[in-house]
């Protein structure tokens, strides 16, 4: 105890010395700052106002710079969630490898596979019409009969002359064997027989022009002639170069093939490499076509041909596909929307597009680890179509946040949102009659 008491006595003895040293230091500090304090006493409202008015623009610029800097710092360096904060509720999905089709969407026009304007080959009057407006006709079916009296009489005349010339030739052959005529007379008889037969065949062809038949199978349009109408071979039919519409000027009727029917559309120049890669595959390119604003009915078909040159005026290439039209519901000239399956990405990692976050540093997604904490993962979007994105930089089996990502920060604790339980139907209620099924 004596040692402790002696130590305390020494400390108590040194306290006045320590007190004097602190007081001397405070005095020295007061002497240094007292001039500045005297200047501060001179500052009043008038001096502050004069300073502000003199340097108002400089003060405003400094304030704006400070405000912009603060916002920029908050944007690029967001405040992370505090340790021990609330758990975020999210919806996630496990990504897997799958085959994703590459789809090219375009707009086009329904066109006929084959369309023919029926015109006469001779000037004559219509005798009989064998079809009706809008009738389905077969290939080779008789459509019109013209007044054939003059052509038939001419054919009968030339046919009789040809038969007589043939008989004269046969008789000349017998006379040559008996040396009654020379071989020169036999050759002359042969030439006369061939000339008469050629004239008879020409008359037969001319007579056939009076019976107009359909060159293709299809549907007849509106008939533009009547029995007794005069038709002329010199009439010129005006048709659109795209063959999407028909003209009645100069044509007796138009035959249009409707089943199968074609759709013509254009593919942008940027998608041509993708289109050509799909064409080189063994399987034909498939298309899905919807007409007008009705997307309920989709027609499936195949690409027939890809044009051999790009139209420089629109920077696109024309493509023609064929689709079945058994119910005859499609007509040439209709507006069509086309989805072309150009190729397939095999073993692709696909996520819903809503899972992707666009940040100043690029696109990223949030991955959930085994401890139910999220970490951002930079990705690259390879392909995107109808809410699905093919990405790279993520392995199969990863758990990706789909909903609730707006409040997440690196290391945030999360929990999976519970699915809404199906509500039980009320008891003892009369069951309503089923509504008719929409087809």
**For the residues 231-245, what does the mean pLDDT come to?**
54
Omega before 219 within 30 of 0, i.e. cis: no
For residue 13 the two structure tokens come to 């003895």
Q: What percent of the chain has pLDDT over 70?
A: 85
Rounded Cα distance between 56 and 49, Å, is 10
The tens digit of pLDDT for each residue in 17-59 reads 887 888 888 888 777 777 766 666 666 777 777 778 888 888 8
DSSP code string of 289-348: EEETT--S--EEEEEEEE-SS-BTTTTEEEEEEEE--TT----TT-EEEEEEEEEEEEEE
- H or E segment at 28? helix 2-41
Mean pLDDT of the chain: 82
Q: Is it the case that residue 137 has pLDDT exceeding 60?
A: yes
For residue 219 the two structure tokens come to 């549907």
Rounded Cα distance between 219 and 213, Å, is 13
Full set of structural domains in the chain with CATH: 2-75 (no CATH), 88-95+356-416 (2.40.420.20), 117-140+216-235+243-256 (2.40.50), 148-209 (1.10.287.470), 257-346 (2.40.30.170)
The tens digit of pLDDT for each residue in 357-368 reads 888 888 999 999
The tens digit of pLDDT for each residue in 140-164 reads 999 999 999 999 999 999 999 999 9
**HEC secondary structure over 177-223:** HCCCCCHHHHHHHHHHHHHHHHHHHHHHHHHHCCEEECCCCEEECCC
Q: Report which of residues 57 and 78 the model is more confident about.
A: 57
Mean pLDDT is lowest, of 214-218, 230-234, 308-312, for: 230-234
Residue 72, pLDDT score: 83
* pTM exceeds cut of 0.85: no
């Amino acid at each position: 105890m004596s040692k402790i008491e002696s130590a305390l006595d020494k400390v108590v003895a040194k306290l006045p010395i320590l007190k004097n040293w602190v007081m001397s230091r405070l005095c020295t500090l007061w002497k240094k700052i007292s001039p500045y304090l005297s200047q501060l006493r001179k500052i009043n409202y008038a001096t502050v106002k004069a300073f502000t008015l003199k340097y108002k623009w400089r003060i405003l610029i400094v304030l704006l710079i400070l405000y912009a800097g603060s916002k920029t710092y908050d944007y690029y360096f967001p405040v992370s969630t505090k340790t021990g904060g609330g758990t975020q509720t999210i919806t996630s999905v496990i990504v897997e490898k799958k085959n994703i089709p590459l789809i090219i969407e375009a707009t086009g026009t329904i066109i006929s596979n084959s369309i023919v304007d029926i015109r006469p080959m001779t000037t004559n009057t219509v005798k009989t019409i064998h079809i009706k407006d809008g009738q389905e006709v077969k290939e080779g079916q008789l459509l019109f009969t013209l007044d054939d009296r003059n052509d038939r009489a001419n054919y009968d005349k030339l046919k009789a002359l040809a038969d007589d010339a043939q008989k004269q030739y046969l008789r000349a052959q017998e006379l040559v064997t008996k040396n009654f005529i020379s071989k020169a007379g036999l050759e002359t008889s042969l030439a006369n027989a061939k000339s008469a037969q050629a004239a008879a065949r020409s008359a037969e062809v001319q007579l056939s022009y009076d019976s107009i038949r359909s060159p293709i199978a299809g549907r007849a349009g509106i008939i533009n002639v009547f029995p007794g109408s005069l038709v002329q071979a010199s009439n010129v039919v005006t048709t659109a170069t795209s063959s999407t519409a028909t003209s009645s000027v100069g044509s007796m009727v138009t035959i249009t093939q409707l089943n199968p029917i074609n759709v013509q559309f254009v593919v942008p120049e940027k998608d041509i490499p993708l289109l050509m890669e799909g064409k080189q595959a063994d399987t034909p390119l498939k298309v899905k076509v919807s007409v007008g604003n009705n997307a309920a009915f989709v027609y499936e078909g195949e690409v027939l041909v890809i044009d051999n040159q790009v139209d420089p005026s629109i920077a696109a290439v024309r493509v023609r596909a064929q689709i079945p039209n058994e119910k005859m519901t499609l007509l040439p000239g209709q507006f069509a929307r086309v989805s072309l399956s150009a190729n397939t990405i095999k073993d692709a990692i696909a996520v819903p597009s809503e899972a992707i976050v666009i940040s100043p540093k690029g696109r990223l997604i949030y991955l959930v680890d085994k401890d139910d904490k999220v970490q951002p993962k930079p990705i690259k979007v390879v392909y995107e179509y109808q809410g699905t994105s093919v990405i790279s930089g993520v392995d199969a089996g990863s758990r990706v946040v789909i909903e609730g990502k707006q409040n997440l920060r690196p290391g945030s604790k999360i929990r999976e949102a519970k699915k809404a339980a199906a509500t039980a139907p009320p008891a003892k209620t009369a069951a309503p009659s089923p509504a008719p099924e929409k087809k």
